[in-house]
Structures are given as structure tokens and as C-alpha cells.
Homo-oligomer: A and B are copies of this chain.
Amino acid sequence: MSVSSSPYTALLRKIESHIALTTDERQAIQNLPVHVRAAKAGETLLREGDRPSQCCLVLSGLVCRQKIVGEGRRQIMSFDINGDVTDLQSLHLDVMDHDVAMLQDGKVGFLPHAALRAMTERHPRIAAALWRATLIDATIFRQWMVNIGRKSAYARTAHLICELVALARSVGLNEYVIEHRPTQEELGNALGLSIVHVNRTMRALREAGLVASEGRRLVVLDWEVLQSAGEFDPAYLHLKTAV
């Protein structure tokens, strides 16, 4: 439950969820320079068009990747939590195609591209693990496309809740709970729904006895039924541990 004080703990756990590391490799990661700072909700860390020279590691709080489109509309493409590197892609793609923004206060660490590149060249297994992490990102994007394109508001909301719970559990939480859920507006911007309809849908989920709301805590009451309502199968997350 407690968030680790060292930025390396989060990063190591993330990478070790992909491969087992040798002592040498662990050391290489812990030798990475990292600049940690606090960031407040609403802050935009990276903007579409930027050419970052470092990668952004989430240490606490809630971060999202999003695109702004037209008149204030936006699409959120991922929620990133403790241990996620939000823009690993910037290591190989110079220009950002989307924003990275803080949704809730937290801490982020910045890892210089130069140091990361040097490490990946000397440690191809770590490079492969990072590559794998970006591939899992892509599987999640694909899943979201399916949800947004082909499922009802009810099903896709249920699916997103399942995903957030599964990911939170995979980094250490034990309960079927989302401790600091996104706002309904943020959920809408992730699900391709209006805020009003997210509200209606959440109410339906509550009335069906699948979830309960306690302020910013969202509690899953019936994990099995919620999964089937969202047609959720965690295989696409490629987690080592069962959900």
C-alpha cells in the first residue's frame, strides 16, 4: 500500500514484472540519473509537438495521456500510475503526438534519454523489457478501441473499472478497489462519453450492485458480474499474477 520513497523501487518493480534482472542489470538501473519533483493536478507535463529529452516516470498521483481535439474536446488514452513510464516512446519518436497531464497531485521522476539509451545499448535484455512494456501499452490501446467502438456505455464503463482495478492490484493493492478514481468527467473523456452519461451509467452500475462509491474511493462489490458486464478478460494486460 505504501508508496516507496525511492524512484528506483517503482521502476525496478515495473521492469521485474517483465523479466528477472541480474545484479548487474539492477545496478545499471539504479545508476540512472533521475530528477524527482512534485506535480499538481491540472499540470501538463508534456504537450503534443514537444520534443522531450527525458522520459517521465510516475511515482505517485494519477497521470493521463490525452489528445486535445477541436473545440475543447479531448480523448484520454491512458491512466498511468505508480511505476508507469508515460512516454517511453519518446526514446525513439522525437515528437510527442499527445499530451501527458497530471490528474491528481503526485510525484514524477525524469530520466534523461541519453542515460536510458546508453543503458539499453549495454543491456539488451533491459531494452527488450522496455520494448515489451510499450507493446503492452499498445495492447491496452487496442482494447480501448474495441470498447469505445463496439460496446455500450454500460459495458465499456464496467470494462474500464475492471482494468483500473486489475492494474492497481498488479502493483500491490489487495482489494478490489480504486483508491483515487478519476472524476466522472475524466472517465467520460476516456470512454468517449459525455459526463452526463457517465453519471447515468455509474448510477446503473451502482443500482445493479456491482460497485459502490465512497467519495474518491470506488469499491467493486461483484467482481465476477462486473467482469462479464464489461466482457473483461485480463489476458490483454499480460500480467504475471492472476487478477
Enumerate chain A interface residues (CB-CB to B < 8 A): 49, 65, 67, 69-70, 73-75, 77, 89, 92-93, 95, 97-98, 121, 124, 127-128, 131-132, 134-139, 141-146, 148-151, 191-192, 231, 235-236, 238
**Is there contact, CB below 8 Å, between B141 and A97?**
no
Separation of A235 and B134 alpha carbons in the complex (Å): 20
For the complex formed by this chain, how many copies does it contain in all?
Answer: 2
Contact of A145 among B135, B148, B150 (CB under 8 A): B148
**Is there contact, CB below 8 Å, between B69 and A231?**
yes
**Is there contact, CB below 8 Å, between A69 and B142?**
no
**Is there contact, CB below 8 Å, between B235 and A97?**
yes
**Is there contact, CB below 8 Å, between A139 and B97?**
yes
Known contacts A73-B150, A148-B192, A150-B192: A67-B142 contact under CB 8 Å: yes
Return chain B residues, CB-CB under 8 Å to A75: 145-146, 149-150
- Mostly, the A contact residues are helix
With a 10 A CB-CB cut-off, give which of A95, A97, A144 has the most chain B CB atoms: A97
**Is there contact, CB below 8 Å, between A98 and B150?**
no
Separation of A176 and B131 alpha carbons in the complex (Å): 34
**Is there contact, CB below 8 Å, between A145 and B146?**
no
Return chain B residues, CB-CB under 8 Å to A192: 145, 148-150
Separation of A70 and B155 alpha carbons in the complex (Å): 11
**Is there contact, CB below 8 Å, between A235 and B69?**
no
Known contacts A127-B124, A134-B138: A149-B191 contact under CB 8 Å: yes
Return chain B residues, CB-CB under 8 Å to A121: 124
**Is there contact, CB below 8 Å, between A97 and B143?**
yes
Separation of A131 and B69 alpha carbons in the complex (Å): 28
Known contacts A93-B136, A131-B134: A145-B143 contact under CB 8 Å: no
With a 10 A CB-CB cut-off, give which of A49, A135, A139, A231 has the most chain B CB atoms: A135
Known contacts A131-B131, A192-B149, A231-B70: A142-B77 contact under CB 8 Å: yes
Return chain B residues, CB-CB under 8 Å to A74: 150
Known contacts A134-B131, A139-B93, A231-B70: A77-B145 contact under CB 8 Å: yes
Return chain B residues, CB-CB under 8 Å to A231: 69-70
